[in-house]
Structure 1
């Protein structure tokens, strides 16, 4: 039996109000016949059909009908044929609706409330409202909205949607994202009220590490447009304009970094319902806006995704009360506020860790991360609307009576991506390490892929994402979110092709040194699109980002100069090398110049291969030549003829091996030298952000898997498992963010939720468990587990674009058993660890067994014995 289980429109989870006129279609099939492959398909949209098309394509298939027009809605079904037999049944229809593809259809005006001058701890949030009178017979209604700031929307007193911190953060001057909601059932004949609660957010609030506010503008603003279709087919449009009114509400302070103050005494009952008297409110001001910059979202919004109760109530040595939620998370705390004397102030301070038994707030730097609730004398529920915190602990003061833990709930918030990948192993520390990576990604994929979610920074550092993108694409469906972020990257790219070190870009600190083309950071312009192509089969993102990719690679090559010497300026290099002093995170064992040459080679190779995909032969030749030039420069300047690194370090060897910078003889010797370097380092981490993701792979690629396992399973600092043994529930920024005595690293820059070093999860998934893409979109899968006596079993599963794939293995003595599930229309190349010849299998479930005698791990040097 064959079924078409799911149709996806581009990378959208809810294709309502999309920005593509010709969205690509993907579908997942199920088949009970082993080895089943699609041979043909048919797509139907209402009365139109493609007829049978003989093709194996089923991922991001071109839209086969006339392009969508603004507001047009289509219902799409798919059926498929295998190589033999009849067609499947038609799939359930997928509904797709275009947003406003023509900017001229925006008739609403951007309106700003009257707000006081900026202060020091976050500014009040404003209430805005407008009323419209509707005739009877509304059959369809869409509400579209965006803001300079962050907003919540209500219609006739009820919340619109479940988005958090809408519209998120984009490069505002060039790309302002709006979202569309179906509000048909919320409208009524006669008076209808639209309410907007509007706060500073990224637009006007504190942003970055330089203490700056009003980076994008000094006035918040909202744009809301309601479009209705009546039973007679006529359409009417309403929106924000000069008739709207505004006032200050109960949120007297609202800031992403600082937190919120909610004064229940200032609450205005019914302010967003029809008939409310707003005559005393202030008129709004109309602000200029070019509707051409308005864009529909590529990915899902930020939402509340999970709740956690209090795990423990702690009384600190100083007598303070701290709530422990048992997990470092990102979001806020919902509080059931008891009745208390009017004016009673309850304060929550948030932090990731404790130090000396008290709340560890020093790593927050200037971020207050403090919420205040002022009672009006009644009991009510409160959850912040316009802030988020990175925390495990919340200190409570001002609570009337004994603190009741059941009154507090942690609300986990992040971009609502679909989970697609899992991993577990017999060693609980390794499983916990992977879970820490997942939580780190959840906390930092909050509209923008940020470096950390708690201190005064929270920026979209390009280097962090560049190394983490493969891990992210396995764990969650990031195709839409990262496609949108790449558009911001291209929009913020400098005229000379240089890519900012974080996106969206702004000058966070006037003291920040000027940066040239920053190797390893700007390479996100090439690595991330290529990763999306490899993992999702999305060649379209390569085409769309092609100009950006070319500009970046040329910019990095220009910085290198004619000899690719990279002789001038400062560069981050292998940031946060394990050997770098706490106050000098750039002081890596490998200088930044060879890192830059290596990354130039990597981007040039990606460009060569991407040009081949896109059918650009001139660029394929050009970047192939640049790859060979960079490769030659690295070999001539930074390694001996035998392959020994001029600056012996784990990163030097790992980049040389993984980026294909050596000839075959050099590569083999470099692999052995890398193993010796790891041995000399006592099986501890000896690399930073750019090198660490490649070390284990480089060892495994050169026959040194046993050494990779000793490095992976190390528990002493610096290592991946050190943080786990210290009770970490997310990935740390530094290997020693917390010292063995429980004190916080003394450096000025310390975070306990930083996903970059969690890129090791990709190695766990691809190599330890053994599930990797061998062709774009996992059309062909490589199954090649790397077992070890450290584990008795490991398993992983991934929802590929073709359906679920999984690998599970056990090792009992020398008896190795493997189970593999391959999705329909794909095949898998299976390599058993005994070195036997690879076997290619089609879709279905497969079992294999062999004898596996693990190689003896290398003995540690005397200095580390015991």
Structure 2
């Protein structure tokens, strides 16, 4: 196989040649023969100067002089060793998208003061272009959202620009090459704009947080190549008029009157009689900086899947998928007729389920111009919906399209298995992330909230970093977190950006996003600079926690969200979890202080590493003394307490750790393998079980379909992850709580466990420089696989059962290696290439003890899936009420037997249950269902797996 280099990129963005950094780091993908490793790389600038570098290919420091603003270069890379060299890669353009200090001089302009606040507007100006233009670049930002047009053409396909940042502290500008849109002679540039996030009234507040009037700022640079240049900037001399968008809001939706359109408004020669001088906003605002993350774009389109007739007889459009975006309609009718578009995630009682929207109107209207077919979609709003209802003018289903919006992050990770419901769960996670990663990582996309809750992202960051290339997106968000945190004296607000008046209080698991997210980005992308950049933020957060904890090093007595949305909490009180919030707070204190110490060590700050390492050690000791018994029993005897302690290393020795794990498994069993954790415990519980020898219990928890569980929403038709385990109840009604969303990714954090543990694909070194291949086959699965476009290239791990054997396949990219752990084998290491191993499979079926009505403990019944299913099915036939009690109320402990909990059964019912048990006993005896002897568990004789590996060239 030849050696090649592809995928060269500068800094973090794949979607654009623009870079916000004067010395952007370079990355590329190397492909070569199996086992081959590059010894050197060489980078060439504009087919001229080239420099020989080391073998690394991920986030390689820029080897040339810093880029000057607006400079543009072609970069090529080749690699080799002592005997071989690849050809030069295809050229990659790198454009410095930033400006020189003082070069941003554009004013914010908007509608004249006589126009109503928040009214969307148009602004424009005309200018001359002389012959000899070689390049034109538009830099633009807004207090709100905008789209620019030049000579009647939109400048790009980005949506809701420039996105949401901490507006009072940070503005960003886009950098767009518009050379092809200009021509010698008279030209025009303009923008349409609305308030977007800037003028929103968050969570139903009576006043806007950032400002009341939207505005836009643009500056167009004309480069003539002979030393001449010219700037066209917003300010005095621009004119403005109201847009045909008569009202627009993130929560409310958008109203559009096509009769108010002004054809050609952004083209030269337009008659702007009646337009007024634009209002110039002289108030100070942050100087915009270059955009770091990919913008929001249309990423998909969905046709109507089905037309449902409402309870009132009206048609409701079902797109078959809960999504985030808006509708595009094609309609015809008389001038002045209005189409109203309403949206909802679910149906309730045969109608749109709009109660969960709370104060969000989530409604668009379009007033027709008349005279022929018209096509329209809202421009500056978005909705979370699966269902829509259109009224006012007849629109056929084939004339309606759902336009899916998201920050345009490349998909990088996939998971598949032999279980369709598990695959649907994983797709729900993907769709939930796609919808909620829209400019900022929001909590939900539909109601009057849509905020960047830090706790949600803290638990979901590992999953996000596998599914999509989220490095640039989260790096940009962390910049806002840092700024908001500085403004709050080191406290990380509940949400980032932070428009809440009461959100600047420290909260465990929420504010810890400051330490966890940078750690995840380093682990998953090999991004050491993010730790270096965020270390002051990490330290500041740790210092806040240590200040709250005092000399005891225990964080107690403060406000906490705790294990938010523990299923035991009543609908009206999501705080009321089983786990002591002080325990959670003190555990996260230990965790964050430890992460600070690790980050400081990695970036070479040994003094900080030593200080916080000592504090972390003392905090762990204080935690154990306060919350853990010598045998490993937690003061809060809840699954979340044990999961947190196990995963954060808050135990004294292996004996105590195993005691925690055994008790956790007991608690999970006693709940009937139904979920008993909230936001904090859910991402940790499966790992905590598997790490302590209870993989089967983790599997039972994963494959549970009763409420609450990960798969219960799947059984109810969910296509995204729900906010509550029971956002919809079994009877099809919406949870009565005042806070219910059907697209909320936090509980989808389990997908990271599917990738790392079930499929067995995880980073062993930052950025997957070394890949950990360690599949843990679950009894419920015949096969599973995960695939990742890692920073080094494509990685794939797959396993399947073949009789008594387990076949494992792996593709390792060139330049990386893999540390492999297979069942029954000693660990070994392989280089890049395609590999295949066959080992003895872990048993898919456990031995069954005889089941007896009088003596069988409830714990044995629930551990035997067939027995539990048979008893439940039998009870459902003879006593449905008792069957429901069995499912919802029984504690499946070792201390009770079937006879003790089913005494209310009639003699006939008892006999039928005993008959069902007898059938199971006979079947188990006939199948000789016993555990394999030790000889069948030993590795097969012959060469070790690393020698018998089948290797092929990496793809």
Q: Return the TM-score normalized by structure 2.
A: 0.87
Query: Which residue of structure 2 aligns with residue 460 of structure 1?
Result: 452
2:331 matches 1:330: no
Secondary structure in structure 1 of the residue aligned to 2:584: helix
Query: Which residue of structure 1 aligns with residue 901 of structure 2?
Result: none
CA contact (8 A) 2:418 2:782 kept: yes
Choose which of 763, 767, 776 in structure 1 pairs with 2:753: 763
Equivalent-residue separation in structure 1 for 2:285 and 2:450 (angstroms) = 28
2:633 matches 1:640: no
1:382–1:274: structure 2 CA closer, same or farther, 3 Å change rule?
A: same
CA contact (8 A) 1:19 1:101 kept: no
Query: Which residue of structure 1 aligns with residue 581 of structure 2?
Result: 592
Equivalent-residue separation in structure 2 for 1:85 and 1:856 (angstroms) = 54
Choose which of 418, 432, 435 in structure 2 pairs with 1:440: 432
Secondary structure in structure 2 of the residue aligned to 1:635: helix
Q: CA deviation at 1:81?
A: 1.0
Q: How does 1:795-834 map to 2 (within 5 A)?
A: 795-833=785-823
1:224–1:117: structure 2 CA closer, same or farther, 3 Å change rule?
A: closer
Equivalent-residue separation in structure 2 for 1:160 and 1:812 (angstroms) = 56
2:101 matches 1:103: yes
* Deviation readout 1:141-198 (Å, 9 max, x if unpaired): 1111100010011110011100100000001122101001111111011111112111
Query: Which residue of structure 2 aligns with residue 139 of structure 1?
Result: 134
2:188 matches 1:184: no
Q: CA deviation at 1:561?
A: 2.2
Equivalent-residue separation in structure 2 for 1:486 and 1:641 (angstroms) = 40
Q: CA deviation at 1:611?
A: 1.1
Q: How does 1:84-483 map to 2 (within 5 A)?
A: 84-114=82-112, 123-206=118-201, 208-288=202-282, 293-338=287-332, 340-378=333-371, 379-400=373-394, 403-483=395-475
Equivalent-residue separation in structure 2 for 1:188 and 1:107 (angstroms) = 25
Choose which of 681, 690, 706 in structure 2 pairs with 1:700: 690
Q: How does 1:13-28 map to 2 (within 5 A)?
A: 13-28=14-29
2:1 matches 1:6: no
* Deviation readout 1:438-467 (Å, 9 max, x if unpaired): 000000000000000000000000000000
1:788–1:420: structure 2 CA closer, same or farther, 3 Å change rule?
A: same
CA contact (8 A) 1:147 1:223 kept: yes
CA contact (8 A) 2:317 2:389 kept: yes
Between 569-578 and 110-119, report the one with greater CA deviation. Answer: 110-119
Greater C-alpha radius of gyration:
2
Between 264-273 and 725-734, report the one with greater CA deviation. Answer: 264-273
Query: Which residue of structure 1 aligns with residue 67 of structure 2?
Result: 68
Number of aligned residues: 851
User: Which ranges in structure 1 are unaligned for 5 or more consecutive residues?
Assistant: none
Q: CA deviation at 1:117?
A: 6.9
Query: Which residue of structure 2 aligns with residue 671 of structure 1?
Result: 661
Q: CA deviation at 1:590?
A: 0.5
Secondary structure in structure 2 of the residue aligned to 1:38: coil
Q: CA deviation at 1:5?
A: 1.1
Equivalent-residue separation in structure 2 for 1:713 and 1:202 (angstroms) = 40
Q: CA deviation at 1:293?
A: 2.7
CA RMSD of the aligned region, Å?
1.6
User: Which ranges in structure 2 are unaligned for 5 or more consecutive residues?
Assistant: 848-858, 863-885, 893-897, 899-912, 914-955
Query: Which residue of structure 1 aligns with residue 77 of structure 2?
Result: 78
CA contact (8 A) 1:789 1:811 kept: no
Query: Which residue of structure 1 aligns with residue 49 of structure 2?
Result: 49
* Deviation readout 1:741-776 (Å, 9 max, x if unpaired): 000000000000000000000001111111000000
Secondary structure in structure 2 of the residue aligned to 1:845: strand
Q: CA deviation at 1:234?
A: 1.7
Equivalent-residue separation in structure 2 for 1:709 and 1:233 (angstroms) = 68
Q: CA deviation at 1:45?
A: 0.6
Q: Return the TM-score normalized by structure 1.
A: 0.96
Q: CA deviation at 1:517?
A: 1.6
Secondary structure in structure 2 of the residue aligned to 1:720: coil
Secondary structure in structure 2 of the residue aligned to 1:417: coil
Equivalent-residue separation in structure 1 for 2:287 and 2:133 (angstroms) = 30
Equivalent-residue separation in structure 1 for 2:457 and 2:116 (angstroms) = 33
Q: CA deviation at 1:813?
A: 3.8
Query: Which residue of structure 1 aligns with residue 873 of structure 2?
Result: none
Equivalent-residue separation in structure 1 for 2:106 and 2:505 (angstroms) = 42
Secondary structure in structure 1 of the residue aligned to 2:134: strand
Between 568-577 and 97-106, report the one with greater CA deviation. Answer: 97-106
Secondary structure in structure 1 of the residue aligned to 2:131: coil
Secondary structure in structure 2 of the residue aligned to 1:22: coil
Equivalent-residue separation in structure 1 for 2:214 and 2:293 (angstroms) = 24
Q: CA deviation at 1:236?
A: 1.3
